Amino acid sequence: MLRYLTAGESHGPGLTAIIEGMPAGLRINKAEINRELARRQSGYGRGERMQIEHDTVQITSGLRMGLTLGSPITMIIENKDWKNWKNEPPITNPRPGHADLAGIMKYNHMDIRNILERSSARETAARVAVGAIAKKLLSKFGIEIISSVCEIGGVNESEKLMREKIDQARKNGDSLGGIFEITAKDVPAGLGSHVHWDRKLDGRLAQCLMSIQGIKGVEIGLGFAASRKSGSKVHDEIIYDYNFRRKTNNAGGIEGGISNGEDIVIRGAMKPIPTIKKALNSIDIITKKPVKAKVERSDVCAVHAASVVGEAVVAFEIANAMCEKFGGDSIKEIKRNYNSYIRMVRMI
């Protein structure tokens, strides 16, 4: 199985990611990872920090001559803004909607910076680097992960109107959330399982999207809309055309916790960013008196960035499911197992 850890704070020296279980023989190009990191930093509504950080990755283990060895892969992304923030004074006025207050209660801190530095979405840069390697693995099997922004602040008519909505929020010192969609194309049937709760692919995908900072809702396929329709209007009729297929894809590519061969479609709903210039009311944790919440440098809207992070975490989860299903220690072994399985499925 694949797994990864990330470490590092928003304004610490840098972010680190370690991937364990990546099979040997996969060619990795740092330029491809850096391209994904640049995508995460783009998008209308991003803040000033994107003009400071130009993320690039260093790979310090797990590769030799550009090929994975089968040993853990370590990646480091430096924070260029570290020196400007390492002597910042304590923060005692928590932001509503952030991890600030709950975090200091849990870890017995009196400086909110001890919480906000790690809870910041800056951590997702490390996850995008991890996802870039997962995408490379999936590409060996013809699987592609793409994303799109569906809605910003309740607006979904056009990109022009979404930008105008963001401009208005910036002018008002406010922030906006929205909805993005991830599509995994050409995923084979049979990933995941119906037999145990923690092996269901839809459950695992929902969890990975919910783990992204700011995500408050996830739906697969029709999602919540399915609850408002009758069964005859929801369930995808089965047809046969050299392979089993569905006439529609309301299930979003997953039935019974198992991929069914159709595109996997999953959406995430992102709340507005809790750091806003029009600061909300709060309480100072030392004096217990009313104050305005801390205003940190932040984005107005980061839904586009969240969609790129969504691609990364979904790619990793599907790559993990592929390795579980077609297990092996090298790309050649996994491809051999995969090809054998595909031949078997086509004979059914």
pLDDT of residue 50 exceeding 80, the answer is no
pLDDT of residue 86 exceeding 90, the answer is no
Q: What integer pLDDT is reported at residue 97 of this predicted model?
A: 95
Q: How many domains does the chain have?
A: 1
Q: What is the pLDDT of residues 218-257, one digit of tens each?
A: 999 999 999 999 999 999 999 998 889 999 999 999 999 9
Tokens of 50: 């994107």
pLDDT of residue 45 exceeding 90, the answer is no
pLDDT of residue 85 exceeding 90, the answer is no
Q: What is the pLDDT of residues 266-291, one digit of tens each?
A: 999 999 999 999 999 999 999 999 99
Q: What integer pLDDT is reported at residue 233 of this predicted model?
A: 97
Of the pLDDT bands very low, low, confident and very high (cuts 50, 70, 90), residue 301 is very high
Distance (Å, whole) CA 229 – CA 147: 26
How, if at all, do strands 67-68 and 14-20 pair?
unpaired
What letter does residue 71 receive in the DSSP assignment?
S
pLDDT of residue 165 exceeding 80, the answer is yes
Q: What integer pLDDT is reported at residue 284 of this predicted model?
A: 97
Distance (Å, whole) CA 192 – CA 203: 9
Question: What SS3 string covers 268-281?
Answer: EEECCCCCCCCCCE
Indicate which CATH number applies to the domain containing 264: 3.60.150.10
Degrees, nearest 5: CA angle 77-81-82: 80
State the pTM of this model: 0.95
Contact 106, 100 (CB under 8 A): no
Of the pLDDT bands very low, low, confident and very high (cuts 50, 70, 90), residue 298 is confident
- The type of residue at 152 is I
Distance (Å, whole) CA 166 – CA 330: 46
Q: Which parts of 20-110 fold into alpha helices (H)?
A: 30-40, 82-85, 100-107
Contact 200, 208 (CB under 8 A): no
What are phi and psi for residue 143, nearest 5 degrees? -95, 130
Q: What integer pLDDT is reported at residue 48 of this predicted model?
A: 63
Of the pLDDT bands very low, low, confident and very high (cuts 50, 70, 90), residue 49 is low
Q: What integer pLDDT is reported at residue 51 of this predicted model?
A: 58
Per cent of the chain over pLDDT 90 is: 89
Question: Cβ of 232: how many Cβ atoms within 10 Å?
Answer: 7
Q: What integer pLDDT is reported at residue 157 of this predicted model?
A: 83
Instruction: Share the mean pLDDT of the chain.
Output: 95
Name the residue range of residue 43's domain: 3-347
pLDDT of residue 35 exceeding 90, the answer is yes
Degrees, nearest 5: CA angle 61-38-185: 85
Of the pLDDT bands very low, low, confident and very high (cuts 50, 70, 90), residue 127 is very high
Distance (Å, whole) CA 325 – CA 314: 16
By CB atoms closer than 10 A (0-12, 13-18, 19+), residue 111 is: middle
Q: What is the pLDDT of residues 105-117, one digit of tens each?
A: 999 999 999 999 9
To which H or E segment does residue 159 belong?
A: helix 159-171
Degrees, nearest 5: CA angle 134-139-143: 95
Q: What integer pLDDT is reported at residue 56 of this predicted model?
A: 96
Q: What integer pLDDT is reported at residue 83 of this predicted model?
A: 80
